[in-house]
Structure 1
Amino acid sequence: MTSADDLTIRPLTLADLTACLDLAEANDWSREEHRWRLMLASGQGYGIDAPPTDPEGGLLAAVVRTSYAHQLHAVGMMLVARRRQRQGLGQRMMRRVIEDAAGAPLLLTATGQGRGLYERLGFKALGEIITLVGTFTAPPPEPATTAPVLVRPATAADLPEILAYDLPAFGADRTELLTRLPSYAERFLVARDRAGRLVGYGAAWPNVTTTSVGPLVADDLAVARALLTPLALDTPLPARVDVSDLHPELATWLAARGLTGDGRTTLMVHGLAAAPGDPARRFAPFSMAHG
């Protein structure tokens, strides 16, 4: 058998989309074509091909690094073929990702299975994320006189403000990713206060079995809930929201609205002592793979 050190790591492109989906499916992941397409278009994919002596062929491993103006990098879609797990492929891929980040911090979300690998590579746990899924039930309407904000669809004219609003909240420039939201998301909304000031934005996008809500960035919980209702209500598939343990009140509110789940992952960082930006304003990530 060819050792991990003898296998070449190469860039992945959109031409590798089907191979990535096959690898994901073989690991019991959904064939998330919409997300993989975005990841490969907006990030740097890495892959290891099976050697000619492997009768199954295809990709043996894949991972994607999304760079936010080289200030921060998100790592996602880390996969190793079952027949080659625990043979050093994942560690070798991650070392390459860390090297290519050139000293900039990295952010990722780890499953229980992968957390040990990331800890050995120097990643530190920041907290947990719970995934809630279900058919969202609208809360009782608030009187117009007490509604905290006006929520409406985002327009091209809103985008410069959204980018400026997101930068201190996320802690790095996500222009390259966020400018793709109008074509990627099914719903893209902004919230403004009575003075017209931008106080939050959010999106919802289609996945295989759910409609994922994220990113969701807001001044406070009230604004986040005001955005969530039109984002999660009457979605074509059950709504999914990934909630940090920094926001237990939001998780409780979503549970009361019909979303349930106990799936937990760990937010981890490499090269920082604490979470970047302002985590209190980040109510849902763009996706687990994007941070």
Structure 2
Amino acid sequence: MTSHDDHPPIRLLTPADLGACLDLAEEHGWGREEHKWRLLLASGTGYGIDAPADDPAGGLLATVIRTSYAERWHAVGMMLVAGRRQRRGLGMRLMRRVVEDAAGAPLLLTATDQGRPLYERLGFKAMGGITTLRGTLTEPPVGGENRGDDGGVAVRPARAADLPEILAYDLVAFGADRTELLARLPRFADRFLVARTPEGRLAGFGASWPNVTTTSIGPLVADDASVARALLTPLALGTPTPARFDVGDDQPELARWLHARGLEETGHTELMIHGAHTPPGTPARRFAPFSMAHG
């Protein structure tokens, strides 16, 4: 006989659920990423399943967040199930709800080896790996081959007047409107930079933001790898905590450059897609996601 607790209801999360989300994330060793969770809960749609009244641990049994970009594309992240209730279908129920609410629009997510089988059962297809690098970025040696490799651009802090051009540039690169998310960058990020050509054209932008024990670099969107490096150096140098950068397997030269500058591999995930054959926009211009959960 199936009990009611085997099918606890799914509800929408609110900012008031922040503490319970952090508790669940900490249980999984993700750390209490309060800064990121606040943004996710404010800019996305969170789904949760509460522990039943007779569960002594209480809190949330499962979470996932869907971030919609003008209903054209959706990013999925923070898929978590409490250890005491794993393998009971809670994750599958949440993901089916997310797919249903996307109403046929494609979805993107990054999957660990543990989560990948669940997503594959739902029809997600692997698109390539993403390697997480962490460490303290070092200056290139004096006279080294990387010094002066700035792509011919000038890098400076972003200003309010840059935002319309940033949004237009990102729309082509990402393939969907991220206005609601990118407009939050000036307050969310510690550093928010733009790169411009000598003629004044926007050639890229990037940001870095605090995340518990690391400083995350992203988003990073640029014309090419040389512009990405020109932005990456001032974003990652001298950060208060080790820099974190998520680089796609389709950017091996950038990964080698980061290794040479002191960052080391600490993890690997798989980019997966549902409802489309290829990612949106111009992937060659996207050098780092906003975060793994945001796409």
Which category of TM-score, normalised to the shorter sequence, fits these structures? over 0.9
Matching of residues 80-229 of structure 1 within 5 Å: 80-140=81-141, 148-229=152-233
Alpha-carbon contact 1:151-1:227 (below 8 Å) kept:
yes
Indicate the residue corresponding to 2:236 in structure 1.
Answer: 232
Range 199-208 or range 273-282, more displaced: 273-282
Partner secondary structure for residue 46 of structure 2: strand
User: Which residue of 1 is the match for residue 74 of structure 2?
Assistant: 73
In structure 2, distance between residues paired with 1:14 and 1:85: 25
Counterpart secondary structure, 2:294: coil
Structure 2 runs not aligned, ≥5 long: none
User: In 2, distance between residues paired with 1:222 and 1:123?
Assistant: 33
Once superposed, which parts of structure 1, at least 4 consecutive aligned residues long, lie more than 4 Å away?
1-5, 140-147
Cα distance in 2 for residues equivalent to 1:34 and 1:12: 16
Change (3 A) 1:282 1:12: same
The answer on whether the counterparts of 2:191 and 2:209 sit within 8 Å (CA) in structure 1 is yes
Q: Which residue of 2 aligns with 1:282?
A: 286
What amino acid does structure 2 have at the position aligned with 1:186?
Answer: D
Q: Which residue of 2 aligns with 1:26?
A: 27
Q: For 1:237, what is the secondary structure of its paired residue?
A: coil
| 1:250 Cα deviation after fit | 0.3
Distance in 2 between residues matched to 1:89 and 1:6, nearest whole Å: 8
Identity in percent: 72
Secondary structure of 1:112's counterpart equals coil
Distance 1:146 1:94 in 2: 42
Q: 1:30 to 1:106 in 2, by over 3 A?
A: same
Asked if 1:48 is matched to 2:52, the reply is no
1:287, 1:149 → 2: CA distance?
25
Please give the alpha-carbon distance, in whole angstroms, between the structure 2 residues aligned to 1:84 and 1:231. 40
Provide the rounded CA distance (Å) in 2 between the counterparts of 1:69 and 1:11.
19
8 Å CA contact 1:2, 1:51 repeated in 2: no
What is the alpha-carbon distance in structure 1 between the residues aligned to residue 238 and residue 268 of structure 2? 25
Q: By how many angstroms is 1:6 displaced?
A: 2.4
Instruction: Say whether 1:17 aligns with 2:21.
Output: no
Q: 1:77, 1:276 → 2: CA distance?
A: 21
**1:242 aligned counterpart, secondary structure:** strand
Measured at CA, do residues 164 and 146 of structure 1 come closer, stay the same or move farther in structure 2, by a change above 3 Å?
closer
- Kindly report the root-mean-square deviation, in angstroms, between the aligned alpha carbons of the 2 structures: 1.6
The CA deviation string for residues 166-196 of structure 1, in whole angstroms up to 9 with x for no partner, is 0111111100100000000000000000100
Number of residue pairs aligned between Structure 1 and Structure 2: 291
Shift of 1:148: 1.0
- Aligned residue number for residue 38 of structure 2: 37
Which sections of structure 1, spanning at least 5 residues, go unmatched? none
Report the CA distance shift for 1:236/1:262 in structure 2 as closer, same or farther (over 3 A).
closer
Contact 1:20 1:59 in 2 (8 A): yes
Report the residue type matching 1:237 in the other structure.
T
Counterpart amino acid of residue 204 in structure 2:
G
2:254 maps to 1:242: no
Counterpart of 1:62 in structure 2 is 63
Instruction: Give the direction of change, closer, same or farther, for the CA distance of 1:122–1:259 in structure 2 (3 Å limit).
Output: same
TM-score w.r.t. structure 2 length? Answer: 0.96
Task: Find the residue that maps to 2:170 and give its secondary structure.
Answer: helix
CA distance in 2, matches of 1:119, 1:236: 39
- Aligned mates of 2:150, 2:91 — CA distance in 1: 52
* Partners of 2:149 and 2:230 within 8 A in 1: no
Q: What code does the residue aligned with 1:130 have?
A: T
* SS at 1:157 equivalent: helix
Structure-1 residue corresponding to 2:260 = 256
